[in-house]
Structure 1
């Protein structure tokens, strides 16, 4: 590594490069469809949807109109596409109203019209329209229970798809007979289309029974209205082979792997060998932290399987089973567990953050870790293990001045983790 580059600066540069690689301004223009004979209607949902809409407007020569919904604070100016803001990760009335208005926009479409759907992470909560008989309050309570349960993002979205009037292919079905072109930025492990914003424009092979099994697995108590939707099969999603989706196509325009490769290029330029361990790592954040610590220690002490200087890069979406009452998120939970396991190992530094700028429910992307992190914490009277037990990663790293705050990044390709071994 170049001697004059502080480790924290290199880690931050890698994180910035990962975010930049997934910016809609780069990713949208190469994937625009040909102009339709009829109308072009633009719809979308997610933390990147407003920036995607702006990039589309700047590169689309013909007429268009539409509506997209993004997270509060993530709107950017658009001339022809209306931008609505709503709540994430727990849906609110604004998101529900936006979904109703979006369905109204899709009424009366013809076969020569095209619907361009801009989808990114966060759309599951932002585009929330419960099925008849289900209230917004019911969905909000379920979302909170799922977020605290330790369920994977795939499991959470399976449940959401079967209680929604727009997810699980229903939004594309509402566009029939128009062509539907979806441009998606992936924020989910494995880039599974049905899990990005719960798949509003793609067919869904999972069932109401699958959703019920997930609810049982995590001991979540369902209100009677939600249980009726699932047990009756009334919440069944649009299945593969449905003729209403025959003219629907989806293109992934940005993925976690692309972001990790951009970070790897920054490391190489600094004289550090990058190793991408996986773009879809899941599991309890604190357990992933222990495993990454074990790998970093082996590299630092034995030169195996990688020799220093190197950086271990990974993405995906870990989970946190909330047991404490602290301020946390999965990235700071991972980092705190990593730091405890490293126990101040010399030469090992790390950064973990969410590429959307929000780890958990706070506008803090993540944090950095250095060999003196634990020592500085103890000198302030902080007890790292107590902070971890209380799920208080944000409280811990904020007290040390080590939080990473990006503001709205206008994209979302999931978690970014870099463990630097010097």
Structure 2
């Protein structure tokens, strides 16, 4: 442990952050935090990421270093919450070569985007790409299944002369349900729900779900063979694993039937499967058969992650520097229980705000807690090194950025989401610390603009939260126990701490931000 603790003092990380002090800014910490969050969201807008990833030439396009010929041979399919905006931009760039297309998007998304003034995310009225809405309440339904069938048919009709552009974003799995006959949609949902309730991991759920699906686990790419397939992916999963985003419809699946039964037996569910599922698993999935017979089909597929939490954090860091902060990215992979995550941010705030060299015990606590919330010890050491140098050299304000997707254990029936609950709990951790503008503030926000079943994306908090609540006769602990963070922040000073950007049209998980005011040199 002593060796690990020494890393953040001994390694020269000045090159990562630069020695020049950021320019002074008169805006409040709260206002600057909101600006930095807005920059993170703007960097991963559907049209922005598509435009950044496609370089159009006269009769071809360049994508991720690969050139593809355009000869009125382009077909477009897509599925996910952000896909409508992605398709609209693809149409603007390559519309003259589009033959036809079909995208599966959330129920009433077109109307919602119009209401939020986001017409640029809508397709042209005479578009050759058909928009199909479904998955009401983010659950697979008959409308989503119809869209999946249309997408499958389109892909199956392609030849070696065609180019299939596949647009994928978070929520795509629910919008592309295609159970292998004779499995019904309801039976497939029942199997996955039972597994989830038994405690199966997302990897285990996908292992089973893909085996019961025609299109997941590389099934869509196989349907499109021998056409060239290019998938542009907006990731909402930590680490951007291609096989997990929308269950990997363009990613070759190497799982066998034995792997599936291993998962089912682990949770004692193999004997309770519907007869239809047993029949399908007994004969092996189409994907497994195709992978055995013709494994070179993977060469006809290019998967490119064009938007992610890491990209959002980089943009946030640039904006933070413009606004007078020295940015440092802690990690894009924060996960785990929100209680542990809030504890880590509280400890980090105290480490950063200390006017003297913090005791080794504080760094030890941070390093012990890090793995619990998905943060590598190296990343914590690097971040503490930057903060320690800021203290000793009298740097300006520092902005610690992170992202990911913590979880909340529901014990109550209140309204809120993981971002608002995290902000509320961090506010408790900061209790007693100096108030802004001299003390730290913390922001947590969902990049989709909606945190749980609320109109807020998250909230901003600081060390004065407890006293402010007491003044207004609000019992913070009862709100925490009831998972009622939205009600708490709404009642607290007319909701001025809430982060409410409205529907953003994108989703790359959450952005966390710890802003530390300027230290004076020792």
Both proteins in one fold, TM over 0.5: yes
Q: How do residues 69-88 of structure 1 correspond to structure 2 at under 5 angstroms? A: 69-75=104-110, 76-78=121-123, 79-87=127-135
1:47 corresponds to 2:81: yes
Could you report, residue by residue, the CA deviation over 1:317-364 in whole angstroms, capped at 9, with x for unpaired residues?
222333332323222232222222222522121111111223234443
Deviation at 1:51, TM superposition (A): 0.4
Q: Which residue in 2 is equivalent to 1:270?
A: 323
Q: Which of 17, 25, 45 does residue 39 from structure 2 map onto?
A: 17
Within 1, Cα distance between the matches of 2:267 and 2:478? 25
> In structure 2, how many angstroms separate the alpha carbons of the residues matched to 1:26 and 1:221?
45
Residue 369 of structure 2 corresponds to: none
Aligned to 1:12, what secondary structure does the other structure show? helix
Q: Which piece of structure 1 moves more, 367-376 or 131-140?
A: 131-140
Aligned-residue CA RMSD (Å): 3.1
Identify the residue that residue 359 of structure 1 maps to in structure 2: 451
| In structure 1, distance between residues paired with 2:266 and 2:357 | 41
Post-superposition CA distance 1:66-117 (Å, at most 9, x none): 0112223543421221222223533232222211121122232111111100
Counterparts of 1:145 and 1:359 in 2: how far apart (Å)?
Answer: 26
For residues 150 and 331 of structure 1, the distance between their equivalents in structure 2, rounded to whole angstroms, comes to 23
Which ranges of structure 1 fall in alignment gaps of 5 or more residues? none
SS at match of 1:190: coil
Change in 2 beyond 3 A, CA 1:383/1:203: farther
The TM-score with structure 1 as length reference comes to 0.88
Relative to structure 1, the CA distance from residue 62 to residue 231 in structure 2 (aligned partners, 3 Å threshold; closer, same or farther) is: closer
Structure 1 match to 2:11: none
**Paired residue secondary structure (1:359):** coil
Distance 1:285 1:242, change over 3 A: farther
SS of residue paired to 2:243? helix
Separation in 1 of the partners of 2:479 and 2:488? Answer: 7
How far, CA to CA, are the matches of 1:409 and 1:51 in structure 2?
11
Query: Could you tell which deviates more after superposition, 217-226 or 382-391?
Result: 217-226
SS of residue in 1 equivalent to 2:101: strand
TM (norm. structure 2) is 0.72
Mark the CA change 1:266 to 1:155 in structure 2 (over 3 Å): closer, same or farther. Answer: farther
Listed as ranges, the matches of 1:3-152 within 5 Å are 4-32=26-54, 33=61, 34-37=68-71, 39-60=73-94, 61-75=96-110, 76-78=121-123, 79-87=127-135, 89-140=138-189
Shift of the 282–161 alpha-carbon distance from structure 1 to 2, 3 Å rule, reads: farther
Residue 156 of structure 1 and its aligned partner are, at CA, apart by 4.8
**Equivalent in the alignment of 1:319:** 407
- Determine which structure has more spread, i.e. the larger CA radius of gyration: 2
Aligned length: 422
Match of 1:397 among 480, 486, 489: 489
Report the more deviating stretch, 233-242 or 158-167.
Answer: 233-242
Q: How far apart are the structure 2 equivalents of 1:392 and 1:219?
A: 36
Higher helix share: 2
Unaligned runs of 5+ in 2: 1-22, 55-60, 62-67, 111-120, 359-383, 391-395, 518-522
Equivalent position SS for 2:98: coil
In 1, the alpha carbon distance for the partners of 2:91 and 2:42 equals 20
Secondary structure at the residue paired with 1:246? Answer: helix
Quote the Cα distance in structure 2 between the aligned partners of 1:151 and 1:323. Answer: 21
8 Å contact 2:106–2:138 — kept in the other structure? no
* Distance change in 2, residues 1:221/1:317 (3 Å): farther
> Are residues 413 and 108 of structure 1, via their aligned partners in 2, closer, same or farther at CA, if it must alter by over 3 Å?
same
Q: SS of the residue aligned with 2:508?
A: coil
1:166 equivalent in structure 2 = 215
Match of 1:383 in 2: 475
For residues 378 and 222 of structure 1, what CA distance do their matches in structure 2 show?
55
